[in-house]
């Protein structure tokens, strides 16, 4: 590996370290909000979950959906709780109690120190409720909706900066599915009135739900043909599933992730050229994750109950390695990806698990996110990497070494994130760091386990955890490091102090 501080790929936006809370399963109810739990505060929020979110130093959370938002009336979730209606929630076949709504979530975000991406319903609803929600949240006072917020006990506006124009509108599973033409028209009209209500906001339009959608990337081109000059980001979603006990193929999916991003960027740049626009369109990867279908907790689903548990994946060491590679991929594209939301935050395909009447604990995927959030802020360096490669069922020429370097010039530190995907052999990394004159190794963090399917749990929370005992050294401008087989690594370099 060769890195040079003269070659910069892009600066990392702090919003790359975000997550997603939806009214789905036990994410909201039983996750962030559980008034009957011993760890709940006076508002019903679980303090143990809040502390784990703060430890991750997350910056932004997308809310309230997801598929949920396409059937959601935001007015149901404001005002006195005793007057809020219960509704059949058609996205996830549950009953929505509306105990948690806009104001409660804004209180929770303040407690965690995170900003909010607010989604509006463009499935069953349209531009009028969308502009009203902006007025309710962001206008100071003196109008119907802003004064209604104040009457609900929130004098100061929430000042939400970033808004999503619907969710996955290309999917036939979505309430109010639209063609690209239909969505492009409603997106541009919603964008106009929302920005007229508050010119300071920025907007995310729905891109493709997955790279396997038959409309990708034509969907992006058609939507941007209508809305290019009215929006700020194209939202993309991507999940990778482990269904067949093939680690080599599963870990190679980060190559597919990189290809998806590159194809999307090509579509965005094509529309920039077609529009003769001076504006560069950026990406919000506002749902991303890997999902292990082999370790989902067995759950008996009770249709139309309140917050029935769904898809509670227990993550393995293998999952953490793919998750880390996906995080590396996002960092490598920091020049174009400015927002990213790991999906979801609590209980459902989540970094954090919150047991009913029990503890909150860290999944294996918690740690790559933590390391990227703590040490991945600065400038991504354009590195040259030579690695052994392998072929698998769905991909060819997959590098065994997945890596990225982030340099913090002000702090005089550099973090190298590296995943060794070889299941049996260590990799010996040699890295030319002559441009980082005077830098040495601060620490080498390693996470590995002899069993690729090893997991954490409420009774064994420290089964798969990182340690700072990695082997690495710097001599004469060259870093040498040992990356154990099937391991996640963070090598932190810093300027030697006199």
CA distance 485 to 423: 6
SS3 string, 43-90, reads CCEEHHHHHHHHHHCCCEEEECCCHHHHHCCHHHHCCCHHHCCCEEEC
Residue 483 class from Cβ within 10 Å (0-12 exposed, 13-18 middle, 19+ buried)? Answer: buried
Question: Does 412 qualify as catalytic in the annotation?
Answer: no
Structure tokens at 449: 């386990």
* Catalytic residue, candidates 22, 135, 168, 318: 168
Cβ proximity of 344 and 28 under 8 Å: no
Q: Respond yes or no: is residue 443 known to be catalytic.
A: no
- Residues near 165 by beta carbon (within 8 Å), at least 6 away in sequence: 120, 122, 130, 187, 190, 191, 203, 204, 205, 206, 231
**Active-site position among 287, 300, 409, 425:** 287
- What are the residue numbers of the active site? 168, 287
């Amino acid at each position: 590996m060769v890195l040079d501080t003269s070659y910069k790929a892009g600066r990392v936006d702090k919003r790359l370290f975000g997550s997603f809370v939806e009214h789905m399963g036990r994410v909201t109810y039983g996750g962030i909000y559980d008034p009957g739990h011993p760890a709940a505060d006076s508002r019903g929020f679980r303090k143990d979950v809040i502390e784990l979110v703060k430890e991750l130093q997350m910056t932004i959370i997308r809310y309230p959906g997801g598929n949920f938002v396409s059937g959601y009336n935001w007015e149901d979730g404001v005002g006195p709780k005793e007057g809020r209606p219960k509704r059949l929630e058609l996205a996830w076949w549950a009953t929505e109690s509306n105990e948690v709504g806009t104001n409660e979530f804004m209180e929770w975000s303040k407690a965690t120190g995170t900003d909010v991406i607010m989604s509006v319903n463009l499935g069953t609803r349209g531009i009028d409720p969308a502009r009203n929600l902006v007025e309710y949240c962001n206008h100071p006072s003196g109008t119907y909706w802003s004064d209604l917020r104040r009457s609900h006990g929130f004098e100061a506006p929430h000042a939400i900066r970033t808004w999503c124009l619907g969710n996955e509108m290309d999917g036939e599973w979505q309430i109010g599915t639209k063609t690209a033409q239909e969505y492009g028209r409603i997106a541009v009209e919603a964008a106009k009135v929302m920005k007229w209500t508050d010119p300071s906001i920025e907007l995310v339009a729905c891109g493709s739900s997955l790279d396997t959608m038959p409309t990708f990337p034509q969907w992006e081109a058609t939507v941007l043909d209508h809305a290019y000059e009215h929006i700020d980001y194209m939202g993309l979603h991507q999940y990778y599933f482990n269904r067949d006990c093939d680690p080599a193929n599963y870990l190679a999916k980060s190559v597919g992730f990189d290809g998806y991003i590159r194809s999307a960027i090509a579509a965005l740049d094509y529309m920039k050229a077609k529009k003769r626009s001076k504006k560069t369109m950026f990406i919000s990867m506002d749902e991303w994750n890997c999902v292990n279908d082999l370790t989902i907790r067995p759950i008996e689903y009770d249709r139309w109950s309140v917050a029935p548990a769904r898809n509670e994946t227990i993550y393995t060491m293998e999952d953490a390695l793919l998750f880390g590679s996906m995080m590396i991929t996002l960092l490598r594209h920091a020049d174009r990806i400015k927002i990213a939301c790991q999906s979801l935050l609590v209980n459902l395909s989540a970094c954090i698990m919150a047991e009913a009447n029990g503890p909150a604990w860290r999944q294996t995927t918690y740690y790559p996110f933590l390391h990227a959030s703590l040490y991945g802020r600065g400038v991504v360096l354009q590195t040259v990497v030579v690695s052994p490669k392998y072929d698998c069922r769905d991909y060819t020429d997959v590098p065994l070494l997945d890596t990225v370097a982030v340099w913090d010039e002000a702090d005089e530190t550099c973090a190298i994130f590296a995943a060794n995907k070889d299941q049996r052999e260590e990799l010996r990394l040699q890295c030319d760091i002559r441009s980082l004159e005077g830098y040495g190794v601060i620490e080498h963090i390693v996470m590995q386990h002899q069993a690729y399917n090893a997991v954490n749990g409420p009774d064994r929370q420290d089964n798969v955890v990182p340690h700072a005992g990695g082997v690495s050294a710097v001599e004469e401008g060259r870093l040498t490091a040992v990356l154990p087989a099937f391991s996640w690594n963070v090598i932190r370099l810093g300027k030697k102090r006199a």
